[in-house]
Amino acid sequence: MEALEKAKYIAGVLDEKKAREVTILGIAEKSTLGDFFVIATGTSSTQVKSLADEVEYKLETECAIPAPRREGYSSANWILLDYGDVIVHIFDRDSREFFKLDKLWADAESVPFEKKED
C-alpha cells in the first residue's frame, strides 16, 4: 500500500472511531521523517488507546501491514505509531493543544480524505 493510500485509510479508521480533528499533513517535501503525518484527537486516555489499537488492528488484519513502532501507549496522552512513511499522532485534547503539531507543521500540505457522514 502506498503512503498516501495508507494515510487516507488510517484517517478513515480514526474518523470512523469518532476521533476528533483528524488531519493528514504531507511532510515529504519538508522532512525526511516520513511522507505523511496523520493527527487525531481522542476525548479521553481510554479513547486515545482505543484509537491506536483500532489503527493497528485494521492495518494488520485488513491490509497485512505489521504492527508499527509505538510510543506513549502507557501514558495515553500522546501515542505515536510509526509506519515508516506514515506517522500517526493520537493526542488527548490537552496534549494536542500544548504541542500544537498542526501549527508546527503549518507549511506542510493539508491532504483531504473522505470523512464518514454522521
Alpha-carbon distance of 51 to 5, in angstroms, equals 19
Distance CA 18, CA 57 (A): 16
**3-class DSSP state for residue 18?**
coil
User: Is 117 a residue whose pLDDT tops 80?
Assistant: no
58: alpha, beta or left? (left if phi > 0; alpha if psi -120 to 50):
alpha
Ranges of beta strands (E only) in 44-105 are: 69-71, 78-82, 86-92
Question: Does the pLDDT of residue 118 top 60, yes or no?
Answer: no
pLDDT at 23 over 70: yes
Residue 114 pLDDT? 85
Q: Tens digits of per-residue pLDDT, 38-74?
A: 999 999 999 999 999 999 999 999 999 998 899 999 9
pLDDT tens, 83-109?
999 999 999 999 999 999 989 999 999
Q: Which domains does the chain have, with CATH numbers?
A: 3-100 (3.30.460.10)
Q: Which pLDDT score is estimated for 67?
A: 81
For 64, the grid coordinates are 497485512
pLDDT at 31: 86
CA separation for the pair 65, 6 (Å, rounded)? 10
